[in-house]
Amino acid sequence: MSSIKDVAKMAGVSVATVSRVLNDKGYVGRDTREKVEKAISELNYKPNEVARSLFKKQSSTIGLIVPDIMNPFFTELARAVEDTASNLGYNVILCNSDGNSKKEQGYLDVLQQNYVNGIIISSNTLTAEQVKAMNMPVVSIDREISRGLPTIVVENKNGAVAATQFLKKKGCKRIAHIRGTHGVVNAEERFEGYKEVVAAEEWYSDSYIVDGDYDMQTSVEATLDLLKRHPEVDGIFAANDIMAIGAIKVAHQLGIKIPEQLSIVGFDGIALTNVLTPELTTIAQPIYELGETAMNMLVGLMGQQPVHETYYKLEVTLIEKNST
């Protein structure tokens, strides 16, 4: 592998001159520049990006921290961020925090030490004070950290209201809810949307709400418990698609027909819902738009360009499939 010294030797110039050409800083004559560029091409020289980052104290790299890359929602979100970043000339370092504050802080430290230009993060533990202390552009996605900080989210409560009302429209008389992780803003909003529709029903009680923790296996266990206690349940709104998939699995195990005996609606609109049997009715988030908007906003912040809007709440769409 060729070094910057090899380039300088072939071009007959100093290492400092090669550096000026590479960084496009300082005056270099046309003939000298052409000699350096020719040497770079013939030697197939690739600059050491780590060394350049240390020298410049910045890089063409951004960090993306998500709580669970096993959840297809975050996989699709990461793809959208990476696609957009690549088109804009940036690389992405992907970090999976597991929603663990210590792990998350560890990633933030590593990203800062590697001089990333900015960070996109989905966090339920990060505070506004921590964001400000990082002294770099940060965009919050999927989960709001604090009003006033750059944020991209969706209409979680409205989507939950639409899902629950849709189940009622389909004739469901006892609608249960598999809720997401306690304390996570979007889970709380989706729970509030469900409750707004059913709280006045004479049958309603907290026993129709079970904790799925945004996890498929936890949802399986919660749904088994729910249907054993409330066999009369004929509608379920799950706060994300993978929990809804867990509920469908339980229905198959118990011999409950979907949608004839039990209708199920999820939330997210991940691609996996299209290959299920039955295909899942879901409240679809504009996942690609979320990632694309976040990356474009981050680039604006990194370039210290005027950012006219720093808070986006995107619409969601009910997509009816065969589970209702």
Q: Is residue 53 part of a domain?
A: no
Non-local (6+) Cβ contacts of 320 within 8 A are 166, 281
pTM of the model: 0.81
Answer yes or no: do 196 and 276 share one domain.
yes
Residue 159 has pLDDT above 60, yes or no: yes
Position 174 in a domain = yes
The angle at the Cα of 70, spanning 178 to 179, to the nearest 5 degrees, equals: 10
Check which CATH number belongs to the domain holding 8 and give it: 1.10.260.40
Q: Is the dihedral of CA 239, 278, 70, 82 positive or negative?
A: negative
Please, are residues 28 and 16 in contact by the beta-carbon 8 Å criterion? Answer: no
Same domain, 174 and 257: yes
If you write DSSP's letter for every residue of 170-198 in order, what string do you get? TT-SSEEEEE--TT-HHHHHHHHHHHHHH
Q: Are residues 76 and 164 in the same domain?
A: no
Neighbour tally for 157: CB within 10 Å: 18
**What is the total residue count of the chain?**
324
Domain that holds residue 210: 156-284
Same domain, 149 and 166: no
Assigned domain for 323 exists: no
Would you say residue 118 lies in a domain? Answer: yes
Same domain, 179 and 209: yes
Q: Span 172-187, mean pLDDT? A: 96
Residue 207 lies in a domain: yes
User: Do 77 and 118 share a structural domain?
Assistant: yes
252-303 pLDDT tens trace = 999 999 999 999 999 999 999 999 889 999 999 999 999 999 999 999 998 8
Residues 147 and 295 occupy one common structural domain: yes
Say how many domains are in the chain.
Answer: 3
> What average pLDDT does this structure show over 180-202?
96
Residues 296 and 278 placed together within one structural domain of the fold: no
CATH number of the domain residue 147 falls in: 3.40.50.2300
pLDDT tens by residue, 71-124: 999 999 999 999 999 999 999 999 999 989 899 989 888 888 777 899 999 998
